[in-house]
A and B are shown apart, each in its own frame.
Chain A
């Protein structure tokens, strides 16, 4: 004697719509006036374009206000790569800043890793964004920061394995240095909900207990960085970012980094895509799980001693910072290659990968 489904819908139904929404819906499920235009990836609701733009922007606004991400008069740098996430972030922040009068001054901050055929093109996009959004732009390059090493040079020397480690360590420091140059203490990045979910799963799969319980924090401020970072798109689905950028006709660069991410991360990404197909809320569900993870931290007798790197002066808990350690290894390798008299083209690795990409049989 089960009762009919509709009479016993739990409260959840008002938040996430039931999957039994009739297919014959002829009006937008939110405004009930306009014709539905798309199916919302996050909820499955069939909604019109104005309602989509509204919920998309409003959710980011809610995230910003509920977490008090900004304060009036703050200068904030947007980590801009020219890709869809950071372009949408810059666009939405500009819109929200004007609509809700945050009183925040936004600056675009880009890192030039020196990857020919990828970053040089995407930086052109950022330069156009600078004019489109009327925001100042600062570009910091690996070459000028790290002994004339670009990512192409690094890959040419170390090969395709582990190059993301170098890029990650260098970028983190480069963003900090760029922010410092601009006198800014807060950088926002375009990490979206899919990225967050992927990080939670990756940390579980790799057993990275140092990061597992903190990786879902929306604001990260660690002792070894003078700059606070936050992720206003933490709850925004990647698919919705794509739709938003498309329908708003935003100018972005859509090529993936030619030094594609490690295979292991790729498997986690595929798993999340499949989970999302089976249950669209899976992405926020994983973030929710990640937020509840807690680990007992060992209380060390002495507090972490923060000093500055002997070589570059950057904040570091060790005598030499991680970037300088990596640089040391790279420089040692470069010296050996030169002594052996084997010359190399700095852009060889990237250029070759690029050429191979275009080969067809």
Chain B
């Protein structure tokens, strides 16, 4: 792969790929007055991985160039947000993400505004979280949820402790991180969020969303486009992870890299779906090197069927086109005992009438929450005994 002649060529080559994806963010002048237009605010979700650090460096270099060429004007204003999850997954010894952020802040002082959000902020203002989760939802009956959490004592580790399945646990953490990034974007009035996912990561996400039954949101999540009223871009979609890692090394910013010390276990049963998919790509890329780009290109051809859906999943906050995925599961999974009577008396169990669900949960969350419990959400229906107890007059 790395056959470039020298460092400058390589750096220029990668920056070119990123700039191609962000061609719209150039300095614009008002045609009538020839004065520069107010640049849009962009938020970079910085995980402190090699990829997001590469993107930060690329954006800063673009800003530099724009300011030089346009007498201090730029095509965008850069904000950087990092979600600090050290209370869930501690960072490697001696690596405090806040300290790293501070040095990033000093290095890029005049180029961007850097903020750090603790992951527990997710539960700090429940109402806003719920508002985020259900923005666009036509269901208003969520007041009981707010009541459950108003005391603000829930922490993310508390919630994660209730999720036994490691895949679901990490997925939920990711949902929280993304929600916080969106909240930050709204607070800072950013109109665009840039994500540091490389082509390798996008290919992994495509396969892992498919494996988790979330295939319907692949185009919505992984294409550039509007989500929750904010435009999302993946500027590194043509850059491989290995290239981003090389870029970080070449530009000598690897001391900022800080990954949570969460290692994939060696026991198959304990691995997450994401671990398996990452291992799969690592193995198969040796024999079939073009596979990553094939998967990403194929995913880009999928049609977004959920973007206009009015139903929002109460857990992941993503739109879903099927309000009752449990019915699909029920049709293909029989949970009845063998009849001890003549088979012709069997009841037909196809498509039983189901009440409109109180909360909409998408298929992906339905299977992910199997075996988990969410302290602030209850989808339990009233049992016959409860109803009789409450309404029957004695």
Q: Is A63 an interface residue (CB 8 A)?
A: yes
Q: Using A62-B332, A271-B276 as known contacts, say yes or no to A204 and B363 having CB atoms under 8 A apart.
A: no
Contact A54 B375 (CB under 8 A): no
B-contact bits for A141-163, CB 8 A (1 contact / 0 none): 00000000000000000000000
A interface majority secondary structure: helix
Give every chain B residue within 8 A of A274 (Cβ-Cβ): 268, 271, 276
Contact B333 A43 (CB under 8 A): yes
A-contact bits for B374-386, CB 8 A (1 contact / 0 none): 1101111100000
Count of A interface residues, CB-CB < 8 Å = 74
Contact A66 B333 (CB under 8 A): no
Contact A16 B329 (CB under 8 A): yes
A-contact bits for B32-70, CB 8 A (1 contact / 0 none): 000000000000000000000000000000000000000
Q: Using A13-B370, A204-B206, A278-B272 as known contacts, say yes or no to A2 and B159 having CB atoms under 8 A apart.
A: yes
Give every chain B residue within 8 A of A107 (Cβ-Cβ): none
Q: Using A2-B159, A296-B303 as known contacts, say yes or no to A30 and B271 having CB atoms under 8 A apart.
A: no
B-contact bits for A205-217, CB 8 A (1 contact / 0 none): 1111100100000
The minimal Cβ–Cβ distance linking B383 to chain A, given in whole angstroms, is: 12
Contact A30 B153 (CB under 8 A): no
Which residues of chain B from 263 to 315 have any CB-CB distance to chain A below 8 Å in the complex? Answer: 268-269, 271-273, 276-277, 280, 283-284, 287-288, 291, 294-295, 297-299, 301-303, 305
Give every chain B residue within 8 A of A286 (Cβ-Cβ): 210-211, 213, 215
Contact B302 A295 (CB under 8 A): yes
Q: Is A304 an interface residue (CB 8 A)?
A: no
Give every chain B residue within 8 A of A20 (Cβ-Cβ): 164, 371
Q: Using A10-B366, A209-B298, A292-B215 as known contacts, say yes or no to A267 and B284 having CB atoms under 8 A apart.
A: yes
Q: Is A330 an interface residue (CB 8 A)?
A: no
Contact A267 B334 (CB under 8 A): no
Q: Is A344 an interface residue (CB 8 A)?
A: no
- Nearest A residue to B149 by beta-carbon distance? A1
Q: A278 contacts which of B209, B269, B357, B375 (Cβ < 8 Å)? A: B269
Q: A284 contacts which of B295, B332, B334 (Cβ < 8 Å)? A: B332
Contact B333 A15 (CB under 8 A): yes
Complex: how many Å from CA A42 to CA B153? 38
Q: Is B107 an interface residue (CB 8 A)?
A: no
**Taking each of B161, B295, B377, which has the highest tally of chain A beta carbons within 10 Å of its own beta carbon?**
B295
**Taking each of A42, A201, A277, A294, which has the highest tally of chain B beta carbons within 10 Å of its own beta carbon?**
A294
Q: A54 contacts which of B212, B287, B339 (Cβ < 8 Å)? A: B339
Which residues of chain B from 135 to 185 have any CB-CB distance to chain A below 8 Å in the complex? Answer: 151, 153-154, 158-159, 161-162, 164-165, 167
**Taking each of B158, B207, B213, B297, which has the highest tally of chain A beta carbons within 10 Å of its own beta carbon?**
B213
Q: A205 contacts which of B153, B295, B326 (Cβ < 8 Å)? A: B295
Q: Is B367 an interface residue (CB 8 A)?
A: yes
Q: Is A282 an interface residue (CB 8 A)?
A: yes
Contact B337 A5 (CB under 8 A): no
Q: B371 contacts which of A18, A30, A50, A284 (Cβ < 8 Å)? A: A18
Interface pick from B3-11, B242-250, B343-351? B343-351
Contact B154 A11 (CB under 8 A): no
- Nearest A residue to B219 by beta-carbon distance? A294
Contact B209 A289 (CB under 8 A): yes
Q: Is A246 an interface residue (CB 8 A)?
A: no
Q: Is B331 an interface residue (CB 8 A)?
A: yes
Complex: how many Å from CA A53 to CA B350? 18
Give every chain A residue within 8 A of B151 (Cβ-Cβ): 1
Which residues of chain B from 99 to 115 have any CB-CB distance to chain A below 8 Å in the complex? Answer: none
Which residues of chain B from 355 to 394 have any CB-CB distance to chain A below 8 Å in the complex? Answer: 357, 361, 363-364, 366-367, 369-375, 377-381
Give every chain B residue within 8 A of A31 (Cβ-Cβ): 337-338
Which residues of chain A from 197 to 230 have any CB-CB distance to chain B below 8 Å in the complex? Answer: 200-201, 204-209, 212
Complex: how many Å from CA A7 to CA B379? 10
Give every chain A residue within 8 A of B165 (Cβ-Cβ): 19, 279
The minimal Cβ–Cβ distance linking A47 to chain B, given in whole angstroms, is: 8
The minimal Cβ–Cβ distance linking B218 to chain A, given in whole angstroms, is: 8
Contact B375 A2 (CB under 8 A): yes
- Nearest B residue to A288 by beta-carbon distance? B213
B-contact bits for A1-25, CB 8 A (1 contact / 0 none): 1111111111111111111100000
Other A-B pairs, 4, CB within 8 Å; known A4-B373, A8-B380, A289-B218: A15-B333, A19-B370, A278-B272, A279-B165
Query: What are some 6 contacts across the A-B interface (CB < 8 A)?
Result: A12-B326, A12-B367, A12-B370, A200-B210, A285-B212, A292-B321
Residues of A near any B CB (own CB < 8 A): 1-20, 28, 30-33, 42-43, 48, 50-51, 53-55, 58-59, 62-63, 65-66, 99-100, 200-201, 204-209, 212, 235, 263-264, 267, 271, 274-275, 277-279, 281-282, 284-286, 288-296
The 3 A-B residue pairs whose C-beta atoms are closest, nearest first, are A289-B215, A285-B213, A31-B337
